[in-house]
Amino acid sequence: MKSMKKVITLSVTGLLLAGAAAPLTTVHAASVKTASTAYQKSKTKASYSYAKKMLAKNRTGFSGKTSYIFSKKTYPTSGAVYGYSDFLLGLKGLGYKFTKAQRTKVANSLVLNRKSTPADLATAVIATRAVGLNPQKLHQTGAKTTLNLVSALYHRSMIKQTVNVQSQALIALSTGSYKRPGNAKFSKTSLSSAIVKNQLSNNGWAYDNQVANADSDTTAMAVTALARSKSTSATVTSAIAKGQAYLKDAVYPSGAFGYAYKGKTFPNANSTAEAIIAFSTKQNTVKLVNGYFKSGQTTSPMRAMLGYVRSTGSIKGATTQTLGVGQVHLANAAYRQALKHRSVYSIN
C-alpha cells in the first residue's frame, strides 16, 4: 500500500446509496463534484462484475502481466497474491456469497506454518473470516488437525514489526470475538499503544517512522486499526483525531490521495480507498467521504476513487487488480456500512 519503495498495502443494488453525504461548508458546493447515486451504481456494477470474473478464473486481472490469485507454487510462503484479503472482504462487503467450493479453495491454498509471519497470519485471519470460515478452527483437506490462526498470530512478537503490520494485526483481531491465549506475546491494548507511540509530530504515520516519509496509506491504516480497537483511552482517541486531521490536510485538489516521490505526487485509487476506509470509522468523519473539506478541493474522495474504475471494471494504475479492485470495493462497503452505523470489518 505504498510508494515506489513500498507496495501500493466487502445484491450490489441493495447496497447502493440512496444519496450522497451532505457536503461541508468550507468550500463552495457548486464547484465540487460528488459521486451521485447513479455514478456510484454504474462504477460499482462494473468493478463488481470484474471481481467476480477474477475469482471464478483465479486470475489477478485480464490484461497486462497477470498471475493466479491462489497458488502455492506461485506464492510458496503464503499461497495467495498480496492483497487477497482485501479482495475477498471487498466482495463480501458488496454482498457476494461464497460457495462451499470457494471456501475450500481458499483454505487449501493458504500456506500456514511455523515460519508464517505476523503479516501472513493477520491477512489469513481476515480472508478466512471474509469467506465464512473460522480462523480459530481452520481445516485444510487431508489434514488431521485444524489450525488456529488467531492463536498463532498472538504468539508472534510485534515489537519489531512496522506500523503497517501492527495495524493489520489489530484489524484482523477485530473481525471476531477471539479468545486471547494466556501466553500471548501481545494484547490489543499493547498493540494500540505501540501504534500510538509511533505517531509522528505531523500527526501522520510512516512505514519507517520518519516524519519525512509520513504518508496517507500508513496513516489511514493506523487510524482504522485504532478505531477498530474500540479503546476508550484518551491517548488512542486523540491519536485517531490527529490522524484524521492529517488525512484531511493530505487530500489533493482532485479529491484523491496518494504519495510523493522525488518531488512528484502520485494520486491513486488505493491510497484514496485507504483514506475513505479511515474516514468511515467515525460518524463525525464519514461525511468527508463524499464531501469536501479543504480549500481548493474540486472533487469528493468517493468521486475521485470511482473515477479510477474503467468501463471494464478494472482499476487504472493499480499495481495488481486484486489489490486495486479489492480496496475500492472495501472502501465502498466501509462507507455504506458506516452510514448504517456499522463496520465492514464486523463480519457475520
The residue ranges of every structural domain in the chain are 12-339
Q: How far, in Å, CA of 15 to CA of 336, rounded?
A: 7
pTM for this one?
0.90
Tell me what pLDDT residue 327 has.
98
3-state secondary structure 208-273: CCCHHHCEHHHHHHHHHHHHHCCCCCHHHHHHHHHHHHHHHHHCCCCCCEEEEECCEEEEEHHHHH
User: CB–CB of 327/305 below 8 Å?
Assistant: no
Tell me what pLDDT residue 24 has.
40
Look up cell 465502498; give the residue: 332
Which of 154, 159, 160, 158 shows the shortest CA–CA distance to 184?
154
Give the up-direction half-sphere exposure of residue 65: CA atoms within 13 A in the CB hemisphere: 4
Tell me what pLDDT residue 269 has.
98
Architecture, CATH, for domain 12-339 = Alpha/alpha barrel (1.50)
pLDDT along the chain (348 residues), means of 10: 38 34 45 95 98 97 93 95 97 96 97 93 97 97 95 96 97 96 96 97 94 94 97 97 98 94 86 98 96 96 98 95 97 96 88
Give the up-direction half-sphere exposure of residue 83: CA atoms within 13 A in the CB hemisphere: 27
User: Based on the number of CB atoms within 10 Å of its own CB, is 232 exposed (0-12), middle (13-18) or buried (19 or more)?
Assistant: exposed
Tell me what pLDDT residue 29 has.
55
Tell me what pLDDT residue 259 has.
86
Q: How far, in Å, CA of 258 to CA of 2, rounded?
A: 9
pLDDT by residue (tens digit) across 241-296?
999 999 999 999 999 999 877 777 899 999 999 999 999 999 999 999 999 999 99
Give the up-direction half-sphere exposure of residue 264: CA atoms within 13 A in the CB hemisphere: 4
The alpha carbon of residue 325 and the mean position of all alpha carbons in its chain are separated, in whole angstroms, by 11
